[in-house]
Amino acid sequence: MKVLITGGAGFIGSHVADGVIAAGHEVVVLDNLSSGKRENVPVQATFVEADIRSEEAAELVRKGGFDAIIHQAAQIDVRKSVTDPRYDADVNLLGMLNLLEAAVAGGVKRFLFASSGGACYGEQDVYPAPECHPTRPVSPYGASKAAGELYLGYYGFEKKLSWCALRYANVYGPRQDPHGEAGVVAIFTGKCLKDEACTIFGDGKQTRDYVYVGDVARANLLALTSDYVGPLNVGTGIETDVVELHAGIARATGSRVPAVFAPPRAGEQKRSCIDPRKAGEVLGWKPEVSLEEGLNRTADFFRALARAA
C-alpha cells in the first residue's frame, strides 16, 4: 500500500510513519516544517516539503498514486485558534478540503483524519464520553475538528471515499515539543529534568485522558487496513488530574522540586475523558502502555536528548 502521511515530521505523525513503514507499506511524508522537524521523518520515507493548502500538495495527491492518506497535519494550538480563528480554519478546514478534493480526483481509497476527543466533545455529560456523545466544541480548534468530520461524512456519502476520524485524547510521549504551546507532559518533563518548578494553573484537579503516542500510532495502522467508516475514540478511559500527573513525572525524572500554583486559565475544561471501547470492538485496539510506563519512556527520551545536546 502507498500511503501519504501529512504532518509526518511532527510528534504524532512521525510515530505513525514509523508504524506504517514497519508494517511494510510505502510512505510519503508531506510537511511544511512549521512545527515538525526534518529529523523526525523516517529515513525510509520520501519527504515532500509543502503546505497542505498549496497547489503543490494537491498535485502530489492527484498524481501520487496513493492508496490512502493519513491526515495528521493541523494547526493544533487551542489558544491561537481563539485569537486567530480565521487562520485556524484556513489550515484545518481549507487545507483539509484541498486534500480531500485532490484525493477524490486521484483515486485515493482510504482517508484517516486526526480528530480530537476532548476538543470535539467540549464539556461532557458523561465520563468517559462515547462516540455518540454530542459534539459541543468550546474553541475554534475544536469546531474545526468537528467540522472536518462533517466534511468527511459528505465525501464518504457523495464521493464514496472510505474514512475514519480518530478522536485522540491527550497524546504524549517521545518527540513531543516541550516549548511554547505544547502538551503538559512534555513541558513538565522538560522542567523536572532541569530541576525547575512546574506551574499548575488553578487547583490542579482538572482531569485529562493521557494516551501514549505509540498506542495512537498503532490505532492508525489498524484503522488504515480496516473498512470501518466513522469516528473512533483513541484514549484510555482513565482520568488523571494535573497534580497526579506532576507527581508521576516527578517520579519518572527524579525531581523533588515542588510545583507552584497560578490562577486558573479562562475557558479551560474541567474534565475530559473518552471511552475507547468501540475501537476495541471494530479494530481490536486497546491502549497497552500504562501512564507510569509511558512517563518513564518519555523521561528517558528527553534525558537522552539533553545529554546529546
On the question of pLDDT at 237 being above 60, the answer is: yes
The C-alpha cell that represents 141 in the structure block:
480548534
Mean pLDDT of 232-261: 98
Amino acid at 119: A
Widest distance between CA atoms in the chain: 57
Q: Of all residues in the chain, what percent carry a pLDDT higher than 70?
A: 98
On the question of pLDDT at 182 being above 70, the answer is: no
Are the CB atoms for 70 and 16 separated by under 8 Å? yes
Handedness of CA 158, 74, 263, 213 (dihedral sign): positive
Question: What is the reported pLDDT for 179?
Answer: 67
The full 3-state SS of 217-259, as one line of letters, equals HHHHHHHHCCCCCEEEEECCCCCEEHHHHHHHHHHHHCCCCCC
pLDDT in tens, 121-180: 999 999 999 999 999 999 999 999 999 999 999 999 999 999 999 999 999 999 998 765
Q: Which phi-psi region, left, alpha or beta, contains residue 295 (left: φ > 0; alpha: ψ -120 to 50)?
A: alpha
Mean pLDDT of 69-74: 98
* Nearest Cα residue to 270 out of 211, 202, 210: 202
Helix, strand and coil content of the chain, in percent to the nearest 5, comes to: 45, 20, 40
Query: Domains of the chain (ranges plus CATH)?
Result: 2-171+212-235+279-283 (3.40.50.720), 172-207+239-274+289-308 (3.90.25.10)
Are the CB atoms for 75 and 38 separated by under 8 Å? no
Mean pLDDT of 18-28: 98
Mean pLDDT of 39-49: 98
Long-range contacts of 299-302 (CB under 8 A, 24+ apart): 299/189, 299/192, 299/193, 299/249, 299/252, 299/253, 301/173, 301/174, 301/175, 302/174, 302/178, 302/186, 302/189, 302/190, 302/193
Using the structure block, give the residue that is written with the C-alpha cell 471501547.
277
The full 3-state SS of 109-126, as one line of letters, equals CEEEEEEEHHHHHCCCCC
pLDDT in tens, 103-138: 999 999 999 999 999 899 999 999 999 999 999 999
Question: What is the reported pLDDT for 165?
Answer: 98
- pTM of the entire structure? 0.97
pLDDT in tens, 214-229: 999 999 999 999 999 9
Backbone angles phi, psi at 14, to 5 degrees: -70, -35
Q: Which residues are catalytic?
A: 141
On the question of pLDDT at 181 being above 70, the answer is: no
Question: What is the reported pLDDT for 79?
Answer: 85
Q: How far apart are CA 181 and CA 175, in angstroms?
A: 14
Q: How far apart are CA 229 and CA 164, in angstroms?
A: 5
